[in-house]
């Protein structure tokens, strides 16, 4: 089992030269980092929402790659491989990583429709990034990967159905960044309503191999208010993905004295 946290992504990229090159490019790229910074200016400073910047992008990247690895172990074939877009699962991992890290850059323009805006902004970034990390003698591969990453970004919208396994993974992983007030439901800081109460009730989120299904998302909460996050964000994202049949959710309630009480599992 692994904790959904900013450190998770490092465990996945360190063993892959391709992913390491992509990660190094993005975290050092001035445009990418300033877009993420401006995403937080709009989301946090102007709208008083929760984090949509570099930390969130890092958390979603790690969670996405963890879910992908568990699905691969269960024999699930990424759409990009199954449909002949790429010839190696390593490229599928690249699509997931890039889509996860860049999925919120559209917030740098405006919150409304940010998934669509983000996909468009990513076009130019990917056009200069991909030739640096993919084989230059295969221009067609570069174009195909670019389209797939843009598809991932756009598909994170709540009202959009994911068309690929890769987009589905990032869509779901986006909803797992909810521990200790990092809820995916936008809520105004300082305002104690159901959004804030439910966000603060979730203490940690973990991803592990499931018992009945390949992926288990374990959510530890200190009150039943945490169910609000599940019902409003995580479950709708799973249901508009292609991987719902592979995921089980295990809520756990922390009682007085630190005792934990497993609650009935949820199979989306």
Between 99 and 184, the higher pLDDT residue: 99
Alpha-carbon 251 to chain mean position: 19
Reading across the β-sheet that carries 260-262, which strands appear in turn? 2-3, 202-209, 215-221, 247-254, 260-262
Rounded CA separation 253/239 (Å): 24
**Tell me: the pLDDT tens digits for 20-37?**
999 999 999 999 999 999
pTM across the whole model: 0.95
The pair of three-digit structure tokens given for residue 214, joined into one six-digit string: 């390949």
Tallying the residues shown for the chain, one arrives at 268
Residue 41: is it exposed, middle or buried by C-beta count within 10 angstroms (0-12/13-18/19+)? middle
| Closest listed residue to residue 52, CA positions, set 122, 8, 106 | 106
**Tell me: the pLDDT tens digits for 211-257?**
899 999 999 998 888 888 889 889 999 999 999 999 999 999 988 77
DSSP E strand stretches across 22-147:
none
pLDDT at 184 over 60: no
**Tell me: the pLDDT tens digits for 47-66?**
888 889 999 999 999 999 99
């Amino acid at each position: 089992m692994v904790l959904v946290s900013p450190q998770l992504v490092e465990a996945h990229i360190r063993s892959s030269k391709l992913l390491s090159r992509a990660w190094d490019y993005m975290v050092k790229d001035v445009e990418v980092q300033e877009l993420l910074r401006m995403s937080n200016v709009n989301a946090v400073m102007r709208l008083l929402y929760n984090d949509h910047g570099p930390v969130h992008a890092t958390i979603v990247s790690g969670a996405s790659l963890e879910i992908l690895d568990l699905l691969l172990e269960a024999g699930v074939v990424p759409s990009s491989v199954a449909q002949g877009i790429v010839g190696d699962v390593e490229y599928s991992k690249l699509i997931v990583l890039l889509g996860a890290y860049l999925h919120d850059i559209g917030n740098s323009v405006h919150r409304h429709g940010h998934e669509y805006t983000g996909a468009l902004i990513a076009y130019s970034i990917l056009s200069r990034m991909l030739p640096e990390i993919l084989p230059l003698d295969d221009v067609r591969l570069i174009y195909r990967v670019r389209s797939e990453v843009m598809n991932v970004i756009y598909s994170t919208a709540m009202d959009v159905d994911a068309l690929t396994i890769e987009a589905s993974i990032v869509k779901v992983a986006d909803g797992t960044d909810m521990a200790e007030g990092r809820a995916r439901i936008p809520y105004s800081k300082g305002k104690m309503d159901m959004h804030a109460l439910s966000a603060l009730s979730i203490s940690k989120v973990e991803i592990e191999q499931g018992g009945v299904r390949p992926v288990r998302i374990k959510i530890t909460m200190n009150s039943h208010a945490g169910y609000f996050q599940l019902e409003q964000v995580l479950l709708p994202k799973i249901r508009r993905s292609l991987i719902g049949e592979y995921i089980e959710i295990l809520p756990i309630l922390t009682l007085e004295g630190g005792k934990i009480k497993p609650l009935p599992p949820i199979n989306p």
